[in-house]
C-alpha cells in the first residue's frame, strides 16, 4: 500500500455529506491521494469520480475479500489474465474484471464513504462496484480505511472501451448521521416540492423513514407514445470517454405504449424507462435512489443512485427532472404497470452547501432531463 501524508485536514465538524470544497481539502491533506492530480470536473458537488488505473484483471468470479484479507491475495488465485489499460482496452460482455483505481484513501475515524456507478455507467448496463481490503460488502468504505480502492466491472449488454483515467464510479464521503427524518422530508415536500406530479398524496409518497416513493411512467411522451428504450444485444463497441458520438438506434429499440399503459419485461433484457414524478434536490441536500422493496426480486431498478445538490432545482436552472430508471427483469417475465412504485428517494443532509450546484457547469449532463439515454448517444429525438 502506498504511504499517504498524515496531515489532519481542516474540515467543518458538521455532520453530513461532504461538498466539493471539503473534498478538495481532503485531497490537499492526503486523505484522498493519487499519483496524478484531479482531472477536470472530477470533483462534483457532493462526490468525486474514481479513475481506472493502468491494469485490469480478468477474474473467474466476483468476490469479497472478507475481514483481514487483502484484495490482492484473493486476486492472485482468481485472475485469468492481465490487460494493459494505458492505451485503451475492450472489456467484454459477460466477463468480470477487477481494476485497481488511481485514487487511494487514508480516511480518519470520523469519515466513511460509499461508492456508486456514475449515471452514464448505469445507463450502459455496466455493472460496477467498488471493493476494499477486508470488505464484507460492496461499495461501502469503513471509517478509518487506509488503502487501495478496486472497481469490479462487468458489462452486461454492451462491450466497452476504457483506458487509464476512465471514470465509471463515484465516491461520496459522510461524516456522522446524514439522514433526513420522515417528518423533515414531509416538510421539505410541502415547502419545496421534492417530488412533483404523479398524483400521489403525501401519505402514499412517504414510507415511514425510508424515503419518498417514485413510480414509473408508462403512458409515454405526448405525440410519440415513447415510454423507453430496450437495449439491442450484439451491438457495437462503446467508448466510455466519448460523448454525443453514437446513433441511438444502432444500440436501442424505442418502446412505445400500446393499449394498456404497461410493459412486460423480458427476462435478462435491459430497459431505460423514466419516473412519473419530477425530482428536485435542494442545495443543502443530496439524495440516493434505493430499491422500494428488496424482497421483490423479479426486477432491478437503478444501478446508479446518487443525486447531487441542485439536481432539478430552480436554484440550478432546473424545473424538476425525472429520474431515469435502468431496469432489468430476472428469471421470469414481469409486468410493470403505469404508476407502479419502483424505488425510494432517500434524502441526506449536506455538511455544507456546495459552492457550485449540479446544473451549474461541472459537466452536468442530465439537468432538466426527461427520458434520456446516456451522454454517449446523439440527441435521442431521432430515436423517438
Kindly report the CATH class assigned to 16-175.
Answer: mainly beta
> What single string gives the DSSP state of each residue in 189-253?
HHHH-SEE-SS--HHHHB-TTS-EEEEB--S--TTT-EEEEEEPTT---EETT--S-B-GGGTEE
**Gap between the terminal Cα atoms of the chain:** 50
Write the DSSP symbol of residue 37: P
Neighbours of 242 (CB within 10 A): 11
The per-residue pLDDT for 297 is 58
Cα angle for residues 174, 142, 171 (degrees, 5° grid): 50
- Distance from C-alpha of 333 to C-alpha of 209, rounded to nearest angstrom: 31
What are the counts of helices (DSSP H) followed by strands (DSSP E) for the chain?
A: 5, 27
Q: 294 or 9: whose pLDDT is higher?
A: 294
The mean per-residue pLDDT over the stretch 25-46 comes to 94
H helices of 258-367, in order, are none
The per-residue pLDDT for 247 is 96
The per-residue pLDDT for 10 is 47
Tens of pLDDT along 322-357? 888 889 888 788 899 999 888 888 899 999 999 888
Q: 368 or 277: whose pLDDT is higher?
A: 277
Taking the mean position of all CA atoms in its chain, how far away is CA 255? 24
Half-sphere exposure for 111 (CA within 13 Å, toward CB): 23
Give the best-scoring range by mean pLDDT among 5-19, 117-131, 192-206.
117-131
Distances (CA, A) of 58 to 47, 68, 93, 152: 28, 23, 12, 10
The mean per-residue pLDDT over the stretch 276-296 comes to 82
Of 9-23, 106-120, 181-195, 204-218, give the lowest mean pLDDT range.
204-218
The mean per-residue pLDDT over the stretch 15-35 comes to 95
Strand partners, 59: 79, 96
Q: 255 or 370: whose pLDDT is higher?
A: 255
The per-residue pLDDT for 343 is 83
| Residue 146 main-chain phi, psi, to 5 deg | -120, 120
**SS3 call for 211:** coil
Distances (CA, A) of 210 to 161, 302, 323: 38, 17, 18
Residues 6+ apart with CB under 8 A from 195: 189, 205, 212, 214, 277, 278, 279, 280, 345
The per-residue pLDDT for 358 is 78
In this structure, the strands spanning 112-117 and 146-155 are unpaired
Provide CATH 2.70.40.10 ranges for the chain: 16-175, 182-383
**SS3 call for 188:** helix
Domain 182-383 has CATH 2.60.40.1180: no
Element (H, E) at 124: none
Of 9-13, 35-39, 189-193, 310-314, give the lowest mean pLDDT range.
9-13
**SS3 call for 106:** strand
The per-residue pLDDT for 367 is 53
Secondary structure of the chain: what % helix, strand, coil (to 5)? Answer: 10, 40, 50
Computed over every residue of the chain, the mean pLDDT equals 85
In this structure, the chain runs to a length of: 384
Residue 18 grid coordinates: 461532504
Tens of pLDDT along 60-90? 999 999 999 999 999 999 999 999 999 999 9
State if pTM tops 0.95.
Answer: no
The mean per-residue pLDDT over the stretch 17-23 comes to 96
Residue 168 grid coordinates: 465509471
The mean per-residue pLDDT over the stretch 252-258 comes to 90
Amino acid at each position: 500500500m502506498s504511504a499517504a501524508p498524515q496531515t489532519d485536514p481542516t474540515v467543518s465538524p458538521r455532520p453530513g455529506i461532504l461538498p466539493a470544497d471539503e473534498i478538495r481539502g481532503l485531497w490537499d491533506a492526503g486523505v484522498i491521494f493519487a499519483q496524478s492530480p484531479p482531472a477536470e470536473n472530477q470533483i462534483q458537488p457532493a462526490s468525486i469520480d474514481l479513475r481506472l488505473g493502468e491494469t485490469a484483471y480478468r477474474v473467474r468470479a466476483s468476490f469479497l475479500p472478507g475481514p483481514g484479507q487483502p484484495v490482492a491475495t484473493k486476486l492472485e488465485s482468481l485472475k485469468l489474465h492481465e490487460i494493459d489499460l494505458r492505451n485503451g482496452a475492450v472489456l467484454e460482455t459477460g466477463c468480470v474484471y477487477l481494476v485497481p483505481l488511481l485514487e487511494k484513501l487514508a480516511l480518519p475515524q470520523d469519515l466513511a464513504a460509499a461508492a456508486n456507478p456514475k449515471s452514464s455507467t448505469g445507463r450502459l448496463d455496466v455493472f460496477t462496484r467498488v471493493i476494499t481490503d477486508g470488505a464484507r460488502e460492496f461499495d461501502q468504505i469503513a471509517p478509518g480505511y487506509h488503502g487501495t480502492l478496486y472497481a469490479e466491472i462487468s458489462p452486461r449488454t454492451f462491450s466497452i472501451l476504457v483506458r487509464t483515467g476512465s471514470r465509471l464510479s463515484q465516491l461520496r464521503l459522510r461524516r456522522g448521521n446524514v439522514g433526513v427524518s420522515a417528518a423533515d422530508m414531509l416538510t421539505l415536500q410541502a415547502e419545496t416540492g421534492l417530488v412533483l406530479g404523479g398524483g400521489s398524496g403525501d401519505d402514499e409518497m412517504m414510507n415511514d423513514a425510508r424515503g419518498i416513493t417514485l413510480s414509473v411512467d408508462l403512458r409515454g411522451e405526448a405525440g410519440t407514445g415513447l415510454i423507453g428504450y430496450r437495449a439491442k444485444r450484439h451491438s457495437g463497441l462503446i467508448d466510455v470517454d466519448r460523448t454525443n458520438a453514437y446513433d441511438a438506434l444502432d444500440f436501442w429499440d424505442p418502446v412505445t405504449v400500446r393499449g394498456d399503459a404497461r410493459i412486460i419485461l423480458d427476462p435478462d433484457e435491459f430497459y431505460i424507462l423514466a419516473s412519473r414524478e419530477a425530482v428536485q434536490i435542494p442545495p443543502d441536500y443530496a439524495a440516493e435512489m434505493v430499491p422500494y422493496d428488496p424482497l421483490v426480486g423479479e426486477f432491478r431498478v437503478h444501478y446508479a443512485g446518487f443525486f447531487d445538490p441542485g439536481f432539478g432545482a430552480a436554484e440550478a436552472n432546473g424545473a424538476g427532472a425525472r429520474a431515469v430508471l435502468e431496469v432489468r427483469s430476472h428469471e421470469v417475465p414481469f409486468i410493470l404497470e403505469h404508476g407502479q412504485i419502483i424505488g425510494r428517494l432517500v434524502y441526506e443532509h449536506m455538511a455544507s452547501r456546495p459552492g457550485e450546484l449540479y446544473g451549474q457547469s461541472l459537466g452536468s449532463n442530465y439537468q432538466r432531463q426527461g427520458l434520456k439515454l446516456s451522454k454517449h448517444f446523439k440527441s435521442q429525438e431521432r430515436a423517438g
